Amino acid sequence: MSTLEKISEQRSFDGVQGIYRHTSTTCAGPMRFAVYQPPQAEKGRCPVLYYLAGLTCTEETATIKAGAQRLASELGLILVMPDTSPRGTNIDGATGDWEFGEGAGFYLDATQAPWSKNFRMYSYIVDELPALIAENFPIDAARSSIFGHSMGGHGALTIALKNPHRYRSVSAFAPIVAPSQVPWGLKALPRYLGEDTPTWADYDACELVRKQTFPGTILIDQGEADQFLEGQLKPELFDQACAEAGQELLLRRQAGYDHSYWFISTFMEDHLRHHAAALALA
């Protein structure tokens, strides 16, 4: 297990908000993540909720903008916010395009060179990071949940559907639900996974839910004024797939809201309470 380096820690709502760094074996380089420990963590183990951010974001984005700490403190939730990709990979083409490469890891394990060495965010989120968190923070690993936004919503949905007994609950804000069918995915998936399109289904929530449902209701909030709604997100495709698969889904369309963290911070409390109920906190 790699050594954890503390970058910063600040008091927040009687808990501690920290930013940390370690050398990842999965991603073959340094990775950063944020952890919020509520005051209850000083006395015992707490359930853990992983938040996966979207394109261009880092471990600081939701930490600063989502406004989750106040309620996490009240509920006794440890929040973990990882970065969205490895950094400093020195791979030609890994920077300069906000839709691909660094800042756009898509929470998958790349199989194509040169991406396959570093871009293994699926294994990082599912295996390496939880083990590191369990070793260094007072979590109750048996009570884990996951959520995310946009590309991170895609990550949360696909990871939960592929590991339905690892997470007590899953939710998403404006997720990419069908990357195999939208421009963001059609740019990233061939470069990370190759042109063999059947392999893309392993990272497509619409395809996965038809094979394996998630125990419990999936919560999704989608702003109706989201500039990416029609071209990139297409929540109706996941709604249809869930209906066909018998998956319980609460898809809430929020009038007037866009893709920003103003939208996320507005409905963050609902999502935290959704997870708290599944984690036996509410």
Alpha helices in 163-214 (DSSP H): 183-193, 205-211
Instruction: Write the CA distances from 280 to 9, 29, 140, 154, integer angstroms.
Output: 28, 36, 12, 25
Please tell me the distance from the alpha carbon of residue 206 to that of residue 89, in angstroms, as a whole number: 31
- 226 classed as catalytic: yes
Residue 168's Cβ-side half-sphere holds a number of Cα atoms within 13 Å equal to: 20
Q: Is 112 helix (H, G, I), strand (E, B) or coil?
A: coil
Neighbours of 244 (CB within 10 A): 11
Residue 267 φ then ψ, to 5°:
-110, 10
- 150 classed as catalytic: yes
Chain centroid to CA 191: 21
Residue 2: Cβ-neighbour burial (10 angstroms; 0-12, 13-18, 19+): middle
Q: Is 29 helix (H, G, I), strand (E, B) or coil?
A: strand
Select which of 154, 259, 271, 275 is catalytic: 259
Select which of 73, 83, 226, 271 is catalytic: 226
Do the strands 139-149 and 170-173 form a parallel or antiparallel pair, or are they unpaired? parallel
Please tell me the distance from the alpha carbon of residue 81 to that of residue 230, in angstroms, as a whole number: 28
Select which of 73, 144, 150, 171 is catalytic: 150
**Distance separating the N- and C-terminal Cα atoms of the chain:** 34
Q: Catalytic positions, please?
A: 150, 226, 259
